[in-house]
A and B are shown apart, each in its own frame.
Chain A
Amino acid sequence: MIEITNVNKSYTGVEKAVDNLNVVIPEGEIFGFLGPNGAGKTTSIKMITGILKPDSGSIKINGKDIVSQTVEAKKQFGFVPDTPNMFLRLKGIEYLNFMADIYGVPSDLRLERIESMSKRFSMTDALGDQIQSYSHGMRQKIVVMGALIHEPPVWILDEPMTGLDPKSSYVLKEMMKEHVQSNKTVFFSTHVLDVAERICDRVAIINKGKILFCGKMEEIKEHFKSNDSLEKMFLEMTEHE
């Protein structure tokens, strides 16, 4: 569960990047965070994951406060950032093992998880190579694997589908669904509305740091009283504020 209460963030001190954010994402839910570039999605995610400190308000992950119980809160989630270009000179297997050490996954468990995930993502024959030799999609996959190696109760993913081939994209979506079926939480941002429409239980639409709407897909449709595609609604909401 993620509880975001009255969160504000401003970089310049004048304009707010995130303006009084209030969202609760319960267990068993895939939550989509939608918005155009510069809407405040990544800033919000950075605050949730402890990369940025909110100016005010509180963020709790499974009841642990990210500011005051930092390390405990960070153990609750696995995070996939929007650019997968990190630790390029480590081999895939070394990266996964490093993440497993960081999150304290026992040896036998990590081996089992690495084997099963690399099979699902067709990465088995790439683990021995340095990440810098990977394509963008492969890098994305290894980062996803690293984030999920400790089987975190909460998944936080920033634009996770970017660069993934259709099969891997499908696998990831399946994994998200399985994850929430075991009563856990998935929070991800995307600009691919189609994805959001198909797999999200609930979405929030954010623009200029403010949540314009938050609710179930049907509710949004109801809200606009039309059967238009999400894309059109999305444009409408963000442009004609």
Chain B
Amino acid sequence: MNNIFTLTKIFLKDIINSIILSNKKSRRSLILMAIVGIILVPVVRNFIFYLSKIFDVLIEVQQEALLLSLGVVISSSIIFFFGFFYIISAFYFSKDTENLLPLPIKPYEIISAKFIQVVLYEYLTALIVLAPILIMYGVKTSAGILYYFSALITFLIVPVVPLVFASFIVMIIMRFSNIGRNKDFLKLLGGISALIIGIGFNIVMQRNLTGALSDPEAIEQMLLEGSNSLAAVISSLFPGLNFAIQGLVNYNYMAGMLNMIIFIGITSLIFGVFLYLSERLYFKGILGLSQSNSKKRLLTKEVLKNNTKSKAVIISYTTNELKLLFRTPTYFLNCILMSFIWPIFFLIPAFSQPGGLQNLREVVINMQQTNGSLVIAIGFAIAIFITSTNSIASTAISREGQNYYVNKFIPVSYGIQIAAKVFAGSIIGLIGIGTVLIVSILAFGVNIPIALLILITSLLGILFISMIGIMFDLYSPKLNWDNEQKAVKQNFNVFYTMMIGSLIAGITVYTIYQLEINTVETSILLISLYGFLNIITYILLKSTGVKWYEQLGD
């Protein structure tokens, strides 16, 4: 037990240090955080406002518990999904595990400490998704102190079961993919298959959910039966959730207490089983994970010749960036794969309902005929969103880590290096939106001229958000890390860029919608506006950005 606490403490210290202390330019990151905080205030205010409105409506039909259970279920699903990324990275890709192997620590102790680490991360997710709903419910129903106590317990325990499920899937896959020679590749394969299973699970879940909800008679029946039955259907997805909701709703009764205790009991049981199994699965999955085998083969003259063709510096540098992104499992998962996962996300709702694809197709075709400019704006927004979430440009400097100095002694001007890094992010963004467009043409009947207009306008949007991303990373890069995960996952620059990206995407769609102009006018407007913004950002990057680059490490 002591070991678990010690390990947890070390892991946490490591994380806290890497977020706050390690950054020499912490003053800069504080400034950035403050600015983003101020921008966030109205967003949060609006969210709470709408939430409160929904509650008022539900209270009128005595279905207030519905939102509560929806909150619990949705946050569990989100935690489950993102849990995959966290768990693969924390359990298998982080290098500290290797240092722990020679120490007299049992697998379950390492697993527990790592699990706690992931749970703590997920509290951040729960804080955004679950906490407002829990609090709102308490306020709106004028609940007593006991409710808040139950709510706190729920908040703390809810992430456990989804994460156990996710860990379990990851562990089994890693156990059996950890054989053979090319570890990097297998790590990736393991990671990807876990993700596919995760997405599949989500689709099935949504199908069942919408299946249950799409029958109006059944819903009516449940509504008549009172506020708890609908919640029961939804929350049966993760064992125990139902008890949590019952516990929350009936917090003032003995039965409520009992439900809460059952919820805690079920969760502990599941966690216990998980620990028992992990003792058998975990070490076999990590042993030798960091080894990489060499072929020791003499390269033929021809291979040598093909591998020594000369390229222009900027092309060589960009290619190099892309190679490292594709070959480093953590980067591949967080930067490359992320760009291609969005089309799948967009397809989930289509496939999760019977006839969903057809419905969506009709909506798109209809919109295309009546308001093509809006389709362009949405496509443009998706491109910006994909590029800002792939985090390639916004971690381009951070990913260099302690090797940043290499960039400072090679005879390549900082301007060219920055450009190459922007290109790497933009290329992946472009391929991302390209994939979305191809899927949209084939599945949703988007016509080719519109798709082309989206592609052309997106190019400028992608360049713009990539430059913004690298600007953030140049201003306050995170160079002090000992495993790659920290460069891309625990990096606020990614978050800032995503915020700006979403903001720009939203404003663009809203403006185009309001303007009521045709597709050609929309394209011209987007091209000239973002062309102009690109020139301004480029000038800034050339002057201030290069100066920041020069100051790196000083």
Contact = CB atoms under 8 A, between A and B. Distances in A.
A154 to B, nearest CB: 12
Contact of A52 (B293, B320, B403, B554): B554
A223 B406 CA distance: 39
Contact of B550 (A53, A100, A110, A128): A53
A79 B307 CA distance: 23
A100 B411 CA distance: 11
Given A100-B308, A134-B294, 17 more contacts: A87-B406, A89-B184, A89-B324, A89-B328, A93-B304, A93-B307, A97-B316, A98-B320, A102-B317, A102-B411, A107-B309, A125-B296, A126-B296, A128-B299, A129-B296, A133-B292, A133-B294
Given A51-B405, A81-B405, A71 B328 contact: no
Interface string A95-116: 0111111111111001100110
A50 B550 CA distance: 9
13 contacts: A50-B408, A81-B405, A87-B324, A89-B328, A90-B323, A93-B308, A94-B307, A101-B312, A104-B313, A107-B310, A114-B304, A125-B298, A128-B303
B408 A114 contact: no
Main secondary structure of the interface of A (DSSP, over half): helix
Interface residues of B, number: 38
Contact of A50 (B296, B307, B324, B409): B409
B411 A115 contact: no
The 5 closest A-B pairs by CB, nearest first: A101-B316, A74-B411, A133-B294, A129-B294, A89-B327
B310 A101 contact: yes
A132 interface: yes
Interface string A37-79: 0000000001001111100000000000000001110110001
Interface string A213-238: 00000000000000000000000000
A49 B295 contact: no
Interface of B: 184, 292-299, 303-305, 307-313, 316-317, 320, 323-324, 327-328, 403, 405-406, 408-413, 550, 553-554
Contacts of A74: 409-411
A102 B316 contact: yes
Interface in A131-151: 132-134
A102 B410 contact: yes
Contacts of B550: 53
B324 to A, nearest CB: 6
A30 to B, nearest CB: 21
Contacts of B313: 101-102, 104
A147 to B, nearest CB: 9
B413 A70 contact: yes
A127 B292 contact: no
A66 to B, nearest CB: 10
A162 interface: no
B413 A51 contact: no
A183 interface: no
Contacts of A133: 292-294
Contacts of A97: 307-309, 316
Given A93-B308, A114-B308, A51 B412 contact: no
A5 interface: no
